[in-house]
Structure 1
């Protein structure tokens, strides 16, 4: 099943315009929330040209925690460090079948048991600058310092979350969020940035879809 939602965040004070598209593909809708089990959200970092940002993963986790305080989201860095080196980029599982390989290692299996994992969510993607234009000059004169000019730049975020049911060793859903926006920097004496919250909007969009999937109140 795929649902597509097109969201438009209008320009507000000190904020640029952001367009967001969310795709949801759910294979196995849960009948209840996570309960006493836990969820870990991890960024994919095996690509040669980019890493999924740690702060983005933290943002998604915080969104889920705020939305449903009963969901226990394991901190990503804590999880990776406690299972070193099995979740480093070169050794992290790429398929659900790879979990069986890890549970054959006694210390790893014990750590999984201690965490009582129900879902492992992999997020793959990044935010990039797409364009820039304009110019600005600054200087110091008899009347003081100042800047004059106008600059603009675009950003785009593309992220996909793959949901693994850790107990069943199965992929049960995917959610993708794509956002883009234009930021501006007009300057007449003092530069005033008007920033489009592109990555924050992607975080909120992806986090909200995951929250709906995981929450007992969905």
Structure 2
């Protein structure tokens, strides 16, 4: 009996192991949402790319997509009622009712992203007809593309804005034509989005930005 009591006393006096730190939960939302902006059509692609990059660069991070956030905060993030600037967005996040809804989603961070791809008109020319190899095409055309993306990151546990990031990628889609046009498409959107996602992942994890000349992970 004495041995049992001694063993129980040792267990009770043993220091408790620290609780495992929970991984971050990051919400993504396109803001400002403007369906009239032609770049808005890239919003879903940007969201999926950012989510994928965050999971790759910060394993364990859980991503909550913007549809869930917009539903939870409806109608505060709709085009007609959304915050007009970042200060107003911060004031929205400070409201107790908004904080309660975001806590209900388990969010630790919120990323508001914007931007898209501007596409210039095609230049050059391609002619097709019966005179070119019995109905083929001949010529050369090209199109310049520029993708610019930006993101603001809030730490919801500390209730403060912690980072602003931006990425930019330029490229040219070329279409040589000899009998058949063969487009070689420049994917500037993926390049810019992956760069932005890597920056946001570092901010979420609290990692310093790489020094110039340091190869990416």
CA contact (8 A) 1:40 1:121 kept: yes
Whether 1:129 and 2:115 are equivalent positions in the alignment is: no
Distance 1:168 1:109, change over 3 A: closer
What secondary structure does 1:168 align onto?
coil
In 2, Cα distance between the equivalents of 1:111 and 1:212? 26
CA contact (8 A) 1:164 1:170 kept: yes
Structure 1 or 2: more strand by fraction: 1
What residue in structure 2 maps to residue 184 of structure 1?
A: 174
Query: 1:102-181, aligned counterparts within 5 Å?
Result: 103-104=96-97, 109-139=99-129, 145-181=135-171
Distance 1:89 1:207, change over 3 A: same
Question: TM-score, with normalisation over the residues of structure 2?
Answer: 0.72
What secondary structure does 1:90 align onto?
coil
Note the C-alpha offset of 1:180.
Answer: 0.9
Distance 1:109 1:97, change over 3 A: closer
Query: 44, 50, 55: which is aligned to 1:54?
Result: 44
Note the C-alpha offset of 1:78.
Answer: 2.9
What residue in structure 2 maps to residue 100 of structure 1?
A: 94
Any gaps of 5 or more consecutive residues in structure 2? Answer: 1-20, 209-217
Which structure is richer in relative contact order (CA contacts within 8 A, separation 6 or more)? 1
The CA RMSD measured in Å over matched residues stands at 2.6
Any gaps of 5 or more consecutive residues in structure 1? Answer: 1-33
CA contact (8 A) 1:129 1:155 kept: yes
Query: 1:19-34, aligned counterparts within 5 Å?
Result: none
Note the C-alpha offset of 1:130.
Answer: 3.2
What secondary structure does 2:108 align onto?
strand
In 2, Cα distance between the equivalents of 1:197 and 1:142? 30
What secondary structure does 2:94 align onto?
helix
Structure 1 or 2: more helix by fraction: 2
Distance 1:112 1:145, change over 3 A: same
Note the C-alpha offset of 1:139.
Answer: 3.2
Question: TM-score, with normalisation over the residues of structure 1?
Answer: 0.72
Report the number of matched residues: 181
User: What's the CA shift string for 1:104-146, capped at 9, x where partnerless?
Assistant: 3xxx555322211111111121210135311112235797542
In 2, Cα distance between the equivalents of 1:143 and 1:152? 23
In 2, Cα distance between the equivalents of 1:165 and 1:142? 61
What secondary structure does 2:76 align onto?
coil
In 2, Cα distance between the equivalents of 1:114 and 1:177? 31
Whether 1:40 and 2:27 are equivalent positions in the alignment is: yes
CA contact (8 A) 1:35 1:70 kept: no
